[in-house]
Amino acid sequence: MKQKQLTINYTEYTDLNQLPDDEQQLIIKAVEALNTSYSPYSQFKVGAAIQLASGNIVIGSNQENSVSPVCICAERVAIFNAKVTYPDDIIEKIAITASTQNFEIENPVTPCGSCRQVMVEAVNRQKGKEFKIILHSPNNRILVFNSVNDMLPFNFNEKRLQNV
């Protein structure tokens, strides 16, 4: 028997200006994407913006449904938007933010398990090239992850299907 620990790496920022210009811009795009959220049931808007290697930006927002399991999160809408609009482009960064009229959001929105799994697949689709995951809250607290493995440790991925 061996007791083990796992370290998760991420960086915390408390001001937008601490980030490089392109990441500040990407967060602004994610905030703009909040306007496209369809969230009448939760009133919780989530916006996402993806920066591609070509320089193109694609966005996503949560799209809800009266049948709740049918809701799709902003992150997945953005990733699938990227994959159908620019299928061969490489995802370099994704910024995610949230807003609601019901309370103050103090901490950055953290992707759900399904979105993390879709991020794992998106990395796999681009031959293992990782992308930055930038989590933002309206009070400009920001968490940056350089690898999806830090978001979803012990994830199931294509290597498992080949017993690698």
Q: Where does this chain bind ligand THU (CB under 6 A)?
A: 39, 42, 44, 46, 62, 64, 71, 73-75, 109, 111-112, 115
Residue 24 CA to residue 70 CA, distance in Å, equals: 32
Which is closer to ligand THU, CB of 54 or CB of 139? Answer: 139
Which is closer to ligand THU, CB of 71 or CB of 105? Answer: 71
- State yes or no: is 130 an active-site residue: no
The answer to whether 34 touches 48, Cβ cutoff 8 Å, is no
Helix (H) or strand (E) holding 119: helix 113-125
**Active-site entry in 23, 64, 75, 92:** 75
Which is closer to ligand THU, CB of 51 or CB of 99? Answer: 99
Q: Residue 98: count other Cβ atoms within 10 Å of its Cβ.
A: 25
Catalytic residues: 75
